[in-house]
């Protein structure tokens, strides 16, 4: 085993990028079978410096660079898992995962099932995801609905440094493959963090979290859209409207009971995500809410999403991403809805 990991001081302040780095450090230190690899994750520390310092500490045989070939990265992860390792591959940007979909969908997601349980797939794919950083084409995709649709995959997306640490540690420890979608726009946002408390208070896999209680409407979101919903709730509070913000955290499995509990209190719901509207994960969430709360809903579930177009150039993304104005307009629609 490797030497004990460094620990963040109690009640310190960390960015999400640093919290993910710490989770990787702890996982590498606690299990020699854990490997981190991908394009530029070694000496450079990744394009977002999430893996900064890990190769220096754990060596180039455990934290290493790969060729620019996403299908090879994921094929390697499957092979390593079959031989008893716990791979943590990184695909540098969300849009770069398309060439690896064959390995992800037909191998990674199915191997445990196809072997009747004989071959676990403890692979955590780290995927910098979503928009908000004004990046070029193919660098700001929202692929959660694609991954969540595939049997055999779990999908997680944090919104805070503590969530990032908790969810990543859970994902790495899980015997099944997890797609860990990191909101790029939140990498540098700092918040209070205590690693020991984060581990002690980690909710079970598939748990959502109420980040702001309210009584009039539930806003459901994940990733970077959670902070945008909190901002919308702050604006609404100035007019006496109390919005509850529910961070889904796990996009598969989805916390149907948590959704039902929140919407059962507010009786109205708005789902917010960056992906295009049609067949987005908001449709699944809205259906779950309707199934669980049909007798108490006072208005149809509304969705505030990206548009059904390819993600636009950076100078247009403010028009594409759900804004606080669009969120508040949806809130107004559900509050003013009257049955015919």
**Which residues have a catalytic role annotated?**
139
Integer Cα distance of 92 and 276 in angstroms: 22
Which residue, among 43, 8, 15, has the nearest Cα to 196 in the 3D structure? 8
Are 295 and 308 a contacting pair, CB within 8 Å? no
Integer Cα distance of 222 and 244 in angstroms: 14
DSSP strands (E only) in 28-139:
34-38, 63-65, 86-90, 124-129
Paired sense of beta strands 178-183 and 63-65, if any = unpaired
Angle at CA of residue 69, ends 65 and 153, nearest 5° = 95
- Report the Cα 199 to chain-centroid distance in Å: 18
Q: Which two tokens stand for residue 153?
A: 């995959």
* Number of other residues whose CB lies within 10 A of the CB of residue 339: 5
Q: Which helix (H) or strand (E) segment is 228 a member of? A: helix 225-237
């Amino acid at each position: 085993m490797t030497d004990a990991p460094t620990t963040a001081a109690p009640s310190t302040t960390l960015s999400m990028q640093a919290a993910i780095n710490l989770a990787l450090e702890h996982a590498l230190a606690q299990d020699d079978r854990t490997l981190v690899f991908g394009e530029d994750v070694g000496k450079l520390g990744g394009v977002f410096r999430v893996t900064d310092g890990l190769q220096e500490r754990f060596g180039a045989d455990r934290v290493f660079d790969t060729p620019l070939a996403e299908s090879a990265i994921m094929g390697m992860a499957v092979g390593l898992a079959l031989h008893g390792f716990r791979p943590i591959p990184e695909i540098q940007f969300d849009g770069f995962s398309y060439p690896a979909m064959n390995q992800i969908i037909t191998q990674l997601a199915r191997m445990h099932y196809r072997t009747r349980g004989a071959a676990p797939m403890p692979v955590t794919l780290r995927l910098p995801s979503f928009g908000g950083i004004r990046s070029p084409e193919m660098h700001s995709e929202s692929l959660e609905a694609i991954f969540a649709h595939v049997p055999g995959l779990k999908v997680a997306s944090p919104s805070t440094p503590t969530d990032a640490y908790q969810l990543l540690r859970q994902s790495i420890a899980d015997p099944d493959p997890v797609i860990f979608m990191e909101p790029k726009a939140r990498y540098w946002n700092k918040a209070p963090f205590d690693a020991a408390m984060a581990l002690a208070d980690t909710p079970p896999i598939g748990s959502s979290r109420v980040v702001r209680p309210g009584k009039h409407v539930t806003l459901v979101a994940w990733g970077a859209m959670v902070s945008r919903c909190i901002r919308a709730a702050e604006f609404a509070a100035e007019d006496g409207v109390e919005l509850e913000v529910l961070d889904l955290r796990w996009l598969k499995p989805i916390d149907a009971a948590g959704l039902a509990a929140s919407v059962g209190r507010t009786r109205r719901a708005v789902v917010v995500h960056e992906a295009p509207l049609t067949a987005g994960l908001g449709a699944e969430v809205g259906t779950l809410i309707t199934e669980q709360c049909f007798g108490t809903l006072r208005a149809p579930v509304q969705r505030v999403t990206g548009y059904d177009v390819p993600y636009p150039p950076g100078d247009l993304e403010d028009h594409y991403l759900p804004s606080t104005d669009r969120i508040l307009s949806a809130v107004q629609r559900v509050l003013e809805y009257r049955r015919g």
